[in-house]
Structure 1
Amino acid sequence: MRENFNSFKYWEYITSENQTIRGHMFMQKPPTDKCLYFHTLIFNKNMGVNSIWGYVPNANSLLGYVQYSFLQEAFYKWIYGKEKLITKVPFLTVEKIIKDGEKLKKINKETAIKMKKDYEKLRKMWDMPVNKIELEVKKFIKDFNYNWTGDNKQFLYLKLFKTPEELGEFVISSSLITSTEKELEDKIGTSLDEWRNICKNGTKDILKGEKFRKILLKRLTEVF
């Protein structure tokens, strides 16, 4: 299926075909210098923390991922996660998820409006020049994190990185707040000096890029 990042059908297809974690759908190969990187958190008291570190090939795929995939999962789990353990998110549009949640009185009108506004902000970005999308998504994320900071029962969170180095330094700085260097090194499976080297050369050296890819896929879920 041809890439059409601004299409629910495309994201339904790619999710179904890959049968993998949503944020890892474009990570079959090491990153390139055009990739964008992200960290997402979906927390619910019943389900715990769903922490994903990943990358996408370009700004359009980032916008599509946030609009059609991340919001779909995040809002569905926000609406229904308080009552049950969710192992699979159905292939429903974000609009349908919000509408059903309000109809079933799982969310109030205020929350539904807030969700619709977020989706609409992203939808409008497709009319912008491609070179402005990354910046606008970054602005969106700032507001999104503020709106969905939630409480000790549930919250949603997104962070965007321009390079592997940015992601790598954030992993270190955020982890060392609650962990020791040794604990972090055990989690990522390498020394911090080597981790920095991997991130610095992740898009230049194929072997470093492959190490970076594998750490994001298999080890960084341990790092919040």
Structure 2
Amino acid sequence: MTIFMKFITPCLNKKKYLYKDFYYWENSFNNSNTLFDGHFNNYKITIHSKIIYTGFLNSEKDILEHSFSVYPSTYSLLGFIQNVFLSTAFFTWFDINYVDFCIPMDTFYNVVTEVNNNNLVNSDAIALFTESYEFLQNLWSLDENTIMDKLYKFCNSFNCNWNNDPCKKLFIKIFNSPEEVYPFVIETIGWDCDEFIEEEISISKEIFKNTCDNVFSQPFINEKFIDILNSNMPTLF
């Protein structure tokens, strides 16, 4: 069965503080809106859109999840990272009661309290996550360019803390434009041989670069870009 998606162009700043509210994200989750993969709310990719790649590994629970998604604005991206990604990352790493990948739909502090009550999480780890949450909370008063600059730094810092254990990993990468995806993928795969790279991404480098470069000019690519990434890209963390 083929499903045709009606893409919508968002009003950029109207929802700024709505995206800050956890209950907006809870409602989005309950309405089955895509959060970790695909187009959030079916918004098409515009020059204002932000792409995100997230990864979760917990070998003890046989969890390996990784995907690309796209958000319509800097503020929606910030809201997702603060209200959804961070809680999910904490839960995936520290909870020992659920064996499946779960998105805990509760406020960050409630998730931390609940998991800590059941699992006695190391206080240093809680402090690191709390610092991350408070860092994100303090970004809402800033302009979009400054937020993006700080989010890039946030991602690097987060990955330094949580992307080192071969059995447990958390990863986050953001992109200001589709063109930024190409070098990230190629550099992450790390092969010098084009043949090996193309085997990994199931597409030629030339076609992949052309795809990343033409998201705005080609409606079909705009609609399918995230699907192409999630269908073709290997684990990138």
> Does TM, scored on the shorter chain, surpass 0.5?
yes
1:58 aligns with 2:73: yes
Output the amino acid matched with 2:231: K
Residues 86, 180 of structure 1: alpha-carbon distance in 2 compared, 3 angstrom cutoff: farther
CA contact (8 A) 2:52 2:172 kept: yes
CA contact (8 A) 1:12 1:91 kept: yes
Residue 176 of structure 1: how far off its partner (Å)? 4.4
1:215 aligns with 2:215: no
Q: Distance in 1 between matches of 2:37 and 2:109?
A: 21
Residue 190 of structure 1: how far off its partner (Å)? 3.2
CA contact (8 A) 1:38 1:161 kept: yes
CA contact (8 A) 2:43 2:71 kept: no
CA contact (8 A) 2:40 2:70 kept: yes
Q: Secondary structure at the match of 1:96?
A: helix
1:68 aligns with 2:83: yes
CA contact (8 A) 1:41 1:158 kept: yes
Aligned length: 220
TM-score (normalised: structure 2): 0.82
CA offsets 1:149-185 (integer angstroms, 9 cap, x no match): 34122121111222212102221232243x9645654
Q: Distance in 2 between matches of 1:48 and 1:139?
A: 26
Paired residues for 1:2-81 under 5 Å: 3=15, 4-18=18-32, 20-26=34-40, 28-45=42-59, 46-80=61-95
The root-mean-square deviation of aligned C-alpha atoms, in Å, is: 2.4
Output the amino acid matched with 1:121: F
Q: Distance in 2 between matches of 1:48 and 1:87?
A: 6
Q: Secondary structure at the match of 1:33?
A: coil
1:88 aligns with 2:90: no
Residue 216 of structure 1: how far off its partner (Å)? 2.6
Q: Which runs of 5+ in 1 are unaligned?
A: none
Corresponding residue for 2:181? Answer: 167
Residues 61, 19 of structure 1: alpha-carbon distance in 2 compared, 3 angstrom cutoff: closer
Q: Secondary structure at the match of 2:140?
A: helix
CA offsets 1:131-154 (integer angstroms, 9 cap, x no match): 321111112112111122341221
Output the amino acid matched with 2:147: I
Residue 6 of structure 1: how far off its partner (Å)? 0.3
**Which of 181, 199, 205 is equivalent to 1:192?**
205
Output the amino acid matched with 1:60: Y
